[in-house]
Amino acid sequence: DNGPKADDDAIAASTWATAVKNAGVFKIGSVQTSPLFSLLNEKDGKTRGFDAGIAQLLSNYILGENKVEITQVTSDTRESVLQNGQVDAVFATYTITDERKKSWDFSTPYRTDHVGILIKKKSGMTKMADLDGKIIGVSQGSTTKDLVLQMLKDQNVDATPEFKEFPDYPSIKSALDAGNIDAFAMDRSTLKGYTTDDCELLQPDVEFGAQDYGVAT
């Protein structure tokens, strides 16, 4: 089942939906490298995952068919593709914040997540205080760095880590595997896609940095 279809009145009530309908294609900013949210299968050319599925349902609702055209974005370029009209919407684990609401319209949240810190099991780290002097990899343009620092403050943890920004999630995981960074901080559901037998979350009982994901237009 490809989900419900909008009637003509529903489309006509929205200038945004009307523009998408007239274009005959639903252009979105997304990623194709996130295992659980939007991952391209090179064998069949299809993109699957939670974000990808919602985008396809919305395409079916407006256009009556799955005609999603993806522009690859990073956390740092999600806004620019919206600003220049290159895409109709962004589906990219995009956290709703008051600051971002000043520039974009957001859907109601479709998922709430929390931030986690992925480390190598052999790192010897067992608690947040062990992050002192360590290098944490984060995504450029994300809210992660500030949320980690706020958590350390809220938990009264005496640790001052360094942060290194990367353009995408695979780059951070590669840096962790290569030993160029000590930890990978990101939303936990995204980290699950990068969790291997030799990695684990640092002190997972410390739940922090609630993230509400929304579709931005």
Confidence of residue 1 (pLDDT cuts 50, 70, 90): low
**Whole-Å CA distances, 77 to 8, 42, 59, 69, 145:** 33, 24, 22, 17, 17
Question: CA-based Rg of the chain, rounded to a whole angstrom?
Answer: 19
The tokens describing 172, both together, are 């951070």
Query: What's residue 3's pLDDT?
Result: 84
Q: Is 160 helix (H, G, I), strand (E, B) or coil?
A: coil
Query: Is a pLDDT exceeding 60 seen at residue 149?
Result: yes
Strand ranges inside 18-132, DSSP E:
26-30, 33-34, 38-41, 46-48, 68-72, 89-90, 111-120
- Please, is 195 exposed, middle or buried when counting C-beta atoms within 10 Å of its C-beta (0-12, 13-18, 19+)? middle
Contact 70, 32 (CB under 8 A): yes
Over residues 27-75, the pLDDT tens digits come to: 999 999 888 899 999 999 999 999 999 999 999 999 999 999 999 998 8
Query: Is a pLDDT exceeding 80 seen at residue 2?
Result: no
